[in-house]
Structure formats: C-alpha cells, structure tokens
Structure 1
C-alpha cells in the first residue's frame, strides 16, 4: 500500500493549489512517504519540494484510503494523510517541478477541476472541525464509484 501526505495551506482567505499537468486537476501539494518516514515528516518535506515554502504547524485533519477497482477487483490501494495549515515561511514558487501553483479564493476552490473525492476532502479541511476518516473507490481513470466517511 502506497502512503501519501498532502496539506491544504490557507493564507489571507486564499488556498494554495497545485495544478498537475496530467489531467490539469488541482490538488493540495504533497507526495509519497519514504521508507520509515512519518506522515508529518512527509508533508513537511513534500510541501517544500513542491512549493518552495515551509508550512508552519500543519494539523492532521483527514485520513483516507483510496481504492482503485476494475471489474470489481482492487487493482491498487493507497492511504492519504491530509493536513491543514494557515502559516508558512518563504516565497511560493510560481511553477513547481510538479505543475503550476495557484492561489485561489476559498470560495473558488470547489469550482476547480479535481478528482471527485477531493471536493469532499477540501470541504472538510476548509470548513469542518474534527477528524475525517474516509474511503474513496475509483475506477482506473478516477471515476468515483463510492465513498464512505465519518467524522469524529
């Protein structure tokens, strides 16, 4: 199982998004965990590698399992640790090695192109309290088949 950590950074009512070139979808910056790395260490390292800035006091707000299914069979599965932060140090790059960085107004985030389940994650990270636990079921081309979630 692949493990990934990302972070939604807000600052002055704006959200930093990364536009990935493969689908032009917007995502929260982040990436894969290295062997023996904690989710917190991963999100700090990956966020800086993708944006040029250091996030300050990221808070874990969601843990999700993403299951890719084809013809009723699981073909891959990964776990996503999603953090939230409101402060950072440094200057945000205009272009990341992973795509183009954009500051978007919070109210505009939900109209951006993204994976269907990411709308739920952004909704929780930007507007809800507590910890979200979820499972997203997708086809190989990221059509959402089902989702299950609960907040504690």
Structure 2
C-alpha cells in the first residue's frame, strides 16, 4: 500500500462568484474591499447550499446595493487564478455579466465592506493610485473588451 501523495505544497482553493457590470461607455465596475489594495469585480464566497448564480446576485446586492435578478445575468465562464488578497491561495471564479444598461435609479454604492468603487476601462485596466488590479480581472476584461456589450 502506498502513502497518499503529499499535497501540502498545493495552494488551497477559494471558490467565488463575480459579476461584470458595464456602463454604455464600456467601463466596468470594480470594488476594493476595506483593508485590501486590489480592485476586483463585485462578488464573493459561496454560502452553504448556495449556487454560484445565487452568490453572484447576493454579493452584488450586499457590496453595491444593486438589485439584479438571476435571469438578467449571463454566465461568462470560469477562471482559475491566484487569489488577490490571500497570498498562496488559488481562486476558482464563476463569472457572470449584466449585459443591460442600468436604469437611472440604479447607482452602485459601497457598503461597509467596500472601501472604494472604480469604473475601469476593460481595454486598459488600471487601478487608482496606490492600488492594484486583481489577477482575475485581466483575463475577464480582455474578453469583455473584445465583445459587444449591449
């Protein structure tokens, strides 16, 4: 009988859902959580029994106040990247997009967990001074920049 393989050198995986919300000028909403230095999409970790889509809707509401319906979101795909704020951790992200213009009354606002909102250009991702761009944003924004939004 052989001993199980030592997996201590493999990073643990964090599973999240993220949401791409774009304006007609193609800029995409990003958030920076309090106590962190990376901008990322609204989203977060799944709660027990929650589907990735349910997580996307809940986290968007909690972080930005935007109330979107599950049927409004399009699944863009899944990405595996390093985690932005947990060194040595891997991130598996189910990414959804809201491909409709927001109504005048739909204005994202940061909650207590979110320190800052920033509308980022997908063709030239850059964070405000003294902050970075989460690894997940780069491949997703490259896809967003190459497709029509609305």
Q: Do they fold alike, i.e. is TM over 0.5?
A: yes
Aligned to 1:80: 93
Counterparts of residues 1-150 of structure 1 (less than 5 Å): 1-13=13-25, 14-55=27-68, 57-66=72-81, 76-87=89-100, 88=102, 90-93=106-109, 95-97=110-112, 98-108=114-124, 110-112=125-127, 113-128=132-147
Structure having greater relative contact order (Cα 8 Å, sep ≥ 6): 2
Structure-2-length-normalised TM-score = 0.66
C-alpha RMSD of matched pairs (Å) = 2.6
State how many pairs are aligned: 121
For structure 1, list consecutive stretches of 5 or more residues without a partner in the other structure: 69-74, 130-152
Post-superposition, which runs of at least 4 consecutive aligned residues in structure 1 deviate over 6 A?
A: none
Aligned to 1:140: none
More strand by share: 1
Deviates most, 24-33 or 11-20: 11-20
Structure 1 residue matching 2:133: 3-state secondary structure? coil
Aligned to 1:138: none
In structure 2, do the counterparts of structure 1 residues 126 and 41 end up closer, same or farther at CA, with 3 Å as the change threshold?
farther
Structure-1-length-normalised TM-score = 0.66
